[in-house]
Structure 1
Amino acid sequence: MTLELHNLKPAAGSKKTKKRIGRGLASTGTYSGRGVKGQRARSGGRNKLQLRGLRAIMLKLPKNRGFKSLTKKPAVVNVGILAKNFVDGSKITPKLILEKNLVKTIANGVKILGDGEISQAVTIKGCTVSKTAEEKIKKAGGEIAV
């Protein structure tokens, strides 16, 4: 038999015949697999949200309150941590801070805060600095380059 358009057929088992519901008295006939009367037998019956265990799960979930700010917050590093990780005279950049694993990401910038003490004279470049951190860095003989 030659392969031509009129004798093309799908592969055996690839096409499953659809179950015909509500035709005659046998198998899924008469009541169409819905049983007899009741809410579940009706069209659109049964509340979908309160399926047996789902209601308990819904009650356990925390209520979503408030909102998440759309403004991205910079990664924060304190002056005391810089003092422990950098030597006197080093130039500190966001890339260096990331390499030392002091922050997880520098995508939203790095801000240096004034918690802790610093005695090393360091140069900070490319980071935003709080007033207290700026005072402590300048007091130690360091500088902040913009």
Structure 2
Amino acid sequence: MAFKVEDLSPTPGSRTSEKRIGRGIGSGMGKTATRGHKGQGRATGKVAARFEGGQTPLFRRTPIKGFKNRGAVVYATVNISTLEERFESGSEISPEILVQRKILKDLKDGVKILARGELTKSFIVKANAFSATAKEKIESAGGKAEVI
């Protein structure tokens, strides 16, 4: 027996009629329209999730620890060892190239070169900041450290 579109119907009991609220006493849902009597939420039916019945709320009871310096400069850091692995001798390295080669995801407030690792190749490195040791290592390997 083949099914026909016109013979399809929902399973009995799966489709119920909509509650008709506030449509008179005979409906059984008139007068208060299923909202109950008086009470805090009678006007809007809602109380904020953070409300604790007048008790001092949790966010005011917990102490504030530390602070965040909004004027701080946050650098994306790269070590000399990474430059040694990923670049050929004589390369020019800039923040844009570091992002392009997926060494850095985000430049933040600039790039700072740090001194971890040994350097045998010479590079022309352009960055926003260098640690003193990193600058020394780059120049002793015959490279150049330029502050942007």
- TM tier, smaller: 0.5 to 0.7
Map of 1:130 onto structure 2 = 131
Correspondence 1:26 to 2:61: no
Alignment of 1:65-80 (within 5 A): 68-70=68-70, 71-80=72-81
Instruction: Return the offset for 1:136.
Output: 1.1
Alpha-carbon distance in structure 2 between the residues aligned to 1:42 and 1:94: 60
User: In 2, are the aligned partners of 1:110 and 1:128 still within 8 Å (CA)?
Assistant: yes
Aligned to 1:53: none
Provide the TM-score with structure 2 as the length reference: 0.59
Q: How does 1:76-95 map to 2 (within 5 A)?
A: 76-95=77-96
Verify the 8 A CA contact 1:92 1:122 in the aligned structure 2: yes
Shift of 1:128: 1.8
| Contact map agreement 2:21 2:34 (CA 8 A) in 1 | no
Deviation at 1:84, TM superposition (A): 0.6
Gap change, CA 1:48 and 1:113, over 3 Å in 2: same
Percentage of identical aligned residues: 34
Deviations 1:26-65 (A, max 9, x none): 3232333134x58478556775528xxxxxxx9xxxxx96
- Report the residue type matching 2:135 in the other structure: E
How far, CA to CA, are the matches of 1:100 and 1:43 in structure 2? 59
Taking the aligned partners of 1:20 and 1:45, their CA distance within structure 2 comes to: 15
Cα distance in 1 for residues equivalent to 2:100 and 2:142: 24
Alignment length (residue pairs): 116
Contact 2:90 2:123 in 1 (8 A): yes
How does the TM-score come out when normalised to structure 1? 0.60
- Asked if residue 116 in structure 1 is aligned to residue 123 in structure 2, the reply is no
Structure 1 segments unaligned to the other structure (5+ residues)? 1-18, 51-57, 59-63
CA RMSD of aligned residues (A): 3.5
Answer yes or no: is the 8 Å Cα contact 1:121–1:141 preserved in 2: yes
Q: CA deviation at 1:129?
A: 1.1
Segments of 5+ residues of structure 2 without an aligned counterpart are: 1-19, 51-57, 59-63
